[in-house]
Structure 1
Amino acid sequence: MGSLYHHVKCPEGVKAKKFKLIVLDNYLKPFLPLTIFYKEALGRITESSAESYLKTLYTFFTWLHTDSNYQGRTIKWDDEPHIVRVAIEDFLMHEAHCKVTTSDSKTYYNVKLTNKSPHTVSRMLSALKSFYKIMIHVKMYLYSNPLIDAHAILKEHQSLKEGVREGKPRMPKEAGTEEPLPKKARRLTDSFFKVINGEWKPQIIDNPHLPFMIYKAGKESKWKLRDEIITTMLFLTGARAREVIELTFGDYRARNDKGEFATFNKGSYGKRTKFLKVDNDTLKLLDCYIHGERKKVDKSGLKMNDIPDEIPIFLNQHGNPYTYDAFLKNWSTIMGKAEIKINIHKTRHWFVTRSIRMIREEYKNKTEQEKAIERLRIYMNWSAKADTMKVYEHHVDEKDYVAEQHDRLLEMMKKEQEEYLKQLEPRKRANQPSVEPRNKVVQTPEEQHELMDFIDKLNS
């Protein structure tokens, strides 16, 4: 189902008076509810999270316009709460292939994901909850939030008021006649639609040949050198896709080591707070791209040394900055060719898993393992409190990581690529090991993996 909505951003260099982004419907008319939602959300969550919520909402709002039904009419986003809930329930069951059942108390719904359910269900429910909260705040929605279980809030409120005296409120704490209230535990959720099996669990992707399976599929798909470099850098660095796709020439010049790039981090609002490390082979590919494929579409005509720091390295066929959405489309094509179902973020999982495996194999001493893992943690920029001492520790450990661990990981990847290529050669002996199916991705059982809590930080 194609989306009936899309957005346009205010061009760089133009100061937006009110909206940084405008959502348009299929008639290219501004759609105010989602436009205002994005504007108000920016004050509460990061820009990338707000845009992610927005794209998720497009799917629901499109379905609302094309397939929703309540007593023979299309449901509107600003209908009464019980009608909106009918729409959400229908969407979850028929479009998202979820199983929706009423709770024992019959005051909220349990949502169970199936193997056909998209991974965005929880995000969509969170986005809808946030959307209606903002619409109520700006007085565009005149009812209570359809996504909130009012009974859960009332029950908690009553439990805090009740004391030992039947029918009477609690005595004040100072009186000393009441049992002290337990420290407030985090409520599971006050959502009307509760996803009961949608907790995020990291997939431990442990196939050493995964990158080369994808490289092979990319070549068969005749991918552009740009996409080959980006994919290679994702596996070599453990970076998020945007951190690679949006690299600038200044990011390369900012580091002394020729194999390093400065880049931003999630929640750093564009500030360069981490670095990426690649090998010489990737640098050679990048040099070929800059002086070949990129030069053909670059409108400036400048030589590499004359290109300003803020200019992006990767461009599309029109000479404009390459975007995450464009890369995602190409990635999906390549995954189809490779017969692998894997999203871009799993390259980050793969990198950390392979790094940890290398640490476990090379360091038999527990203390040395912990030190190596801490260096990896710093490289991934999962930092603790930022004080002066941490800055010095970061400076020392960063050098140790580049010199010791990352280079060894790159060497290990090169050996694994050679092994994979040997497996692809025609079998000369009957006892030669067979090649694994292309769509087989080996995963370590979660309960046996020693660093599940560590991998959990991948989405933080």
Structure 2
Amino acid sequence: MANYWVEEFLHYLAVERGLAENTLSSYHRDLHQFLEWLKERDIKSVEAVHRNHIMAYLLKLQQKGRAPATVSRHLAALKSFYHFLTRESAVEKDPTINLDSPKLAKKLPHVLSPDEVVALLDQPDTGKKAGLRDKAMLELLYATGLRVSELMALDVPHLNLELGFVRCFGKGAKERIVPMGSVAARCLNEYLEKGRNKLIKHFDEPALFVNQHGRRLTRQGFWKLLKKYAVDAGINKDIAPHTLRHSFATHLLENGADLRAVQEMLGHADITTTQIYTHLTKSRIKEVYDETHPRA
């Protein structure tokens, strides 16, 4: 019966709330781990769970050395799950009510300097078809701040090079229109004219960015390329798939962009998520002050 309710909950998240596949996989993994824990303790149903069981489970995760962010994610999954069970009248009382997540230390994302971005974007060899693709991908990512998953999901019709924008689908399949600069548009046009047609195997392939086999490039494939180009550019920072997205947002705010506009472009549902980049720009302002003020 426990598995039944988990599957019902996941179906609700997918159909009624339209959550992304990655988010659903995370809920599935975390909840089935919780069910295994219940089974080990001979707790036969999710309806029999009490507040002290939830607290014991979270404590066990902490004792295993799980990071506060991981413990918070598990609690968030359980809160959402039991809220659903309460709504469906499967349980009388929600055992997660008033349970707080562990305090999270704010981790600021790694950001490239404008010079490092230029060095990275200059790495692909545009004399080759794959180089044209990689140049277009990197330029578009930095020009728009798309998530890597959004970049990989783009189809050719999602581009409007003449007007300079891209249509993408973010978390929860929410559509947004993001402007791009002339440099990215030019690189995309060159890739479409001279690179993509040599990479695709079938004329009706919809994917914008394809691999050497003519199929849609994966996030893992992009990640390998990004790491290689970062090494070639001599960048010693800890590069992650979202590094160009973080750099996009930070550089916009450093140059006076409106926070709400950046929120819209990034596709953040809550502006507090975008505000982390204001901390980065404040840190940069302090660095500039320390470097340049005669009495710093």
- TM-score, shorter chain, exceeding 0.5: yes
Give distance in 2, aligned partners of 1:266 and 1:227. Answer: 22
| Higher RCO (CA-CA < 8 Å; seq separation 6+) | 2
SS of the residue aligned with 1:194?
coil
Q: 1:240 to 1:264 in 2, by over 3 A?
A: same
Residue 314 (structure 1) aligns with? 209
Residues 110-144 of structure 1: per-residue CA shift (max 9 Å, x gap):
xxx3xxxxx5543442222111211232244x353
Residue 223 (structure 2) aligns with? 331
Give distance in 2, aligned partners of 1:207 and 1:76. Answer: 54
The answer to whether structure 1 residue 58 and structure 2 residue 28 are counterparts is: yes
The answer to whether structure 1 residue 283 and structure 2 residue 189 are counterparts is: yes
Q: How big is the shift at 1:87?
A: 2.0
Give distance in 1, aligned partners of 2:211 and 2:5. Answer: 32
Give distance in 2, aligned partners of 1:218 and 1:77. Answer: 55
SS of the residue aligned with 1:47?
coil
Residue 55 (structure 2) aligns with? 85
Residues 200-252 of structure 1: per-residue CA shift (max 9 Å, x gap):
x6547242344467669989xxxx65566433321232223344222222222
Letter in 2 for 1:122: S
Give distance in 2, aligned partners of 1:447 and 1:213. Answer: 23
Letter in 1 for 2:97: I
Give distance in 2, aligned partners of 1:87 and 1:218. Answer: 48
Give distance in 1, aligned partners of 2:150 and 2:282. Answer: 28
Residues 77-125 of structure 1: per-residue CA shift (max 9 Å, x gap):
715223243223212331524xxxxxxxxxxxxxxx3xxxxx5543442
Q: Which of 229, 246, 256 does residue 349 from structure 1 map onto? A: 246
The answer to whether structure 1 residue 136 and structure 2 residue 20 are counterparts is: no
Q: Which of 101, 113, 117 does residue 194 from structure 1 map onto? A: 101
Larger Rg: 1
SS of the residue aligned with 1:292?
helix
Aligned residues: 260
Taking the TM superposition and a 5 Å limit, the aligned residue runs for 1:18-167 are 32-41=4-13, 45-48=17-20, 51-64=21-34, 68=37, 73=41, 78=46, 79-81=48-50, 82-94=52-64, 96-97=66-67, 113=68, 119-140=69-90, 142=91, 144-149=93-98
Residue 292 (structure 2) aligns with? none
Structure (1 or 2) with the greater helix fraction: 2
Query: Is the contact made by 2:252 and 2:262 (CA closer than 8 Å) also made in structure 1?
Result: no
TM-score normalized with structure 1 length = 0.45
Taking the TM superposition and a 5 Å limit, the aligned residue runs for 1:210-225 are 210-211=116-117
SS of the residue aligned with 1:264?
strand
TM-score normalized with structure 2 length = 0.65
The answer to whether structure 1 residue 238 and structure 2 residue 122 are counterparts is: no
Residue 262 (structure 1) aligns with? 166
Give distance in 1, aligned partners of 2:135 and 2:44. Answer: 44
Residues 22-76 of structure 1: per-residue CA shift (max 9 Å, x gap):
xxxxxxxxx543332233235774533xx4542222342454466x478x64666
Q: Structure 1, unaligned stretches of length 5 or more? A: 1-30, 98-112, 114-118, 150-191, 360-368, 384-442, 451-460
Q: 1:69 to 1:120 in 2, by over 3 A?
A: closer
Q: Structure 2, unaligned stretches of length 5 or more? A: 268-278, 287-296
Give distance in 2, aligned partners of 1:42 and 1:75. Answer: 28
Taking the TM superposition and a 5 Å limit, the aligned residue runs for 1:203-214 are 203=109, 205-211=111-117
Residues 131-187 of structure 1: per-residue CA shift (max 9 Å, x gap):
1211232244x35323222xxxxxxxxxxxxxxxxxxxxxxxxxxxxxxxxxxxxxx
Q: 1:194 to 1:271 in 2, by over 3 A?
A: closer
Give distance in 1, aligned partners of 2:195 and 2:70. Answer: 35
Q: How big is the shift at 1:352?
A: 2.5
Give distance in 1, aligned partners of 2:198 and 2:74. Answer: 42
Q: 1:236 to 1:88 in 2, by over 3 A?
A: same
The answer to whether structure 1 residue 251 and structure 2 residue 158 are counterparts is: yes
Query: Is the contact made by 1:238 and 1:347 (CA closer than 8 Å) also made in structure 2?
Result: yes
Give distance in 2, aligned partners of 1:76 and 1:32. Answer: 13
Give distance in 1, aligned partners of 2:12 and 2:71. Answer: 22
Identical counterparts, % of pairs: 17
